[in-house]
Amino acid sequence: MGELGVPAFRGKQLANQYFGRLEADPAAMTDLPVGLRDQVGAELFPRLASSVRHISADDGTTRKTLWKLHDGTLVESVLMRYPDRATLCISSQAGCGMACPFCATGQAGLERNLSAAEILEQVRAAARAMRDGDVPGGPGRLSNVVFMGMGEPLANYKRVLTAVRGIVSPPPSGFGLSQRSVTVSTVGVVPAIHRLAEEGLHVTLAVSLHTPDDELRDTLVPVNNRWPVSEVMDAARHYADATGRRVSIEYALIRDVNDQTWRGEMLGRLLVQRLGPMAHVNVIPLNPTPGSEWDASPKPQQDAFVAAVQQAGVSCTVRDTRGQEIAAACGQLAAEG
């Protein structure tokens, strides 16, 4: 604001408009002098993202948005409204460089990192949609944000961390969500997990493990060749010890690949040994992508796998599958353009 020759207090006004009132159009900021709005808009409020289209499912309570960023890059976010909460799944990269073969985004490769502003804009738009009653169920509040959209969040560490602080800080510094309502996922970028453990945050860490054994994980999650399961578990333990937060172990269940009951038993033993009560397994029925060789496990095998993990003494639940008819698996909509 100083560079624009404007009093510094106007900066706080702008921050409160964006984070508190969820307003990104200076023309609508009535506490700014009319003559200042165009200047502020040109200098401080570039058009970050335009919605190409919304696709709804689950009677409108799941809404996927395809965003076009300033340079034409396409990314996605998904807003899911439940009776007791509203969760937004956001992207941190355009594409992903982790190359997991069963993931639509991983198949596309990495295009670029998103800026912190591009990440936060996804949150602002969803918070405003909830406030204004744009999602069936009347006006409400965005309560949860999960970094489980396109990209590997910890491969865009600095910007993701800036965005997390913007999500959890109270207005006018951020949107004021609870730290415990924010989840950051990773396929196991070990140095970044250790770094995150020391940031003084209490967000939930979700580790996309997908199998407990290195032999299979080397093929399902190629980064495992660099940081094997034992090192991922060490980092997860560090995070749990440093934050007191339970670590969510994400496990996409793939038919005849990683869904064997004995693998469930193996996973349970690994987690009891390495994380104890600080682990929770989140089983994800695979959302197959068109033309993919990968498929979801049959329900009886899914149930047997979950039972095997639970019998080992580890908390284990199955994620609610939302939006399958709208290609809600991350990256599918962007791939279609």
Q: Would you please indicate which residues are annotated as catalytic (active-site) residues?
A: 76, 330
Cβ partners under 8 Å of residue 295, min gap 6: 254, 255, 286, 288
Residue whose token pair is 């995070």: 239
Sheet of 279-285: strands edge to edge?
Answer: 49-57, 62-69, 74-81, 86-89, 144-147, 182-186, 204-208, 247-253, 279-285, 315-318
Task: Collapse the DSSP code of 119 into the 3-class scheme (helix H, G, I; strand E, B; otherwise coil) and give the result.
Answer: helix
CA distances from 104 to 59, 110, 149 (A): 25, 12, 11
Q: Distance between CA 254 and CA 270 in Å, rounded? A: 20
| Helical ranges in the chain per DSSP H | 9-15, 34-44, 104-108, 116-131, 157-168, 190-197, 214-220, 229-243, 261-274, 299-311, 332-336
Q: Distance between CA 285 and CA 299 in Å, rounded? A: 9
Closest CA to 206 of 287, 279, 275: 279
